[in-house]
Amino acid sequence: MTAPRAIWQGIEPVPHQRVYFANHSSNGDFVLLWTVLPAPLRRKTRPVAALDYWLKSPMRAFIGREVFNAVLIDRRPEARAEDPVTQMVTALDQGASLIIFPEGQRNSSDAQLLPFKSGLFHLAKTRPEVDLVPVWIANLNKVMPKGEVIPLPLICTVTFGAPLHLAADEAKDAFLARASQALLALQPHLQGDA
C-alpha cells in the first residue's frame, strides 16, 4: 500500500551490526523500516518495541514475538522486571541489529522530533563499536494516521544516513543533540527529495 522506497545516503546496506534509530510517528514505523532492509539484514534485525502495546492481545503478542522477534520493553519503570538497556545490549551481544525510536513514544505533536530518551546514549557508551544509523521515515503518519484502520495509498521514503559513534568524553546531552540533528537532516524537504 505504501510503495516504500529506501534511500541509502552516506551508508550502504551491508551486513554490519547496527542500531537503526528513527523518528516515530506511526505504529507502522518499525514494520516499514524492517521491510525495506535487504533480506540478509532483515533476518538479523530486531525492533525494540513497547511491551504494553505488543502484549495487548494474543495476535499482537504472536506477531511481536514470533514474526518480528521484537525486544519488548516495559515503558513503566515501576513495573519493569528487566532494565531496557540491558535487554538491548543482550540482543546486540547475540548478534542482532536493532531498530529503536529514541523519542520513546509516537510523536503526534507539531514538533519535528520529541526530545530523545537516554537509551541511545547508553547503547553507544556500552557498545561503542556498533554503528548508530539515523533513519528518517517520511509520510507513514499520513498513510496510517492515528486511530485510522484503512491506510491511504501514498509513497513513503525511508532514508538511511551516515553512522554515528559516541566521541571520547562526549556528554549525554551533546551526543543526543548531535543524534537528533543527524536525524532531522535526513528529512526529504531538507534534501530536495519527495
Q: What is the pLDDT along the chain (194 residues), one digit of tens a residue?
A: 556 788 999 899 999 999 999 998 766 677 888 889 999 999 999 999 888 888 888 888 888 888 889 999 988 878 888 899 999 999 999 999 999 999 877 766 677 888 899 999 999 999 999 999 999 988 655 555 555 555 555 677 899 999 999 999 999 999 999 999 999 999 876 444 44
Give whole-number Cα distances, 157 to 32, 148, 183, in Å.
Answer: 9, 20, 14
Beta strands 157-160 and 131-138, pairing class: antiparallel
Give dist(CA 163, CA 148) in Å, integer: 34
CB 52 within 8 A of CB 76: yes
Give dist(CA 87, CA 179) in Å, integer: 21
Helices (H), the chain: 29-36, 39-43, 51-54, 58-62, 84-93, 119-126, 140-143, 172-184, 188-191
CB 130 within 8 A of CB 52: no
Domains in the chain, please, with CATH? 5-191 (3.40.1130.10)
Give dist(CA 20, CA 131) in Å, integer: 8
CB 147 within 8 A of CB 174: no
Angle between helix 119-126 and helix 172-184 axes, rounded to 10 deg: 110
Strand 157-160: give its sheet, edge to edge.
Answer: 5-8, 157-160, 131-138, 18-22, 97-100, 45-50, 71-73
Give dist(CA 32, CA 78) in Å, integer: 31
pLDDT value for 146: 57
Q: Cell digits for 158?
A: 525511508
Question: Which DSSP helix (H) or strand (E) runs through 145?
Answer: none
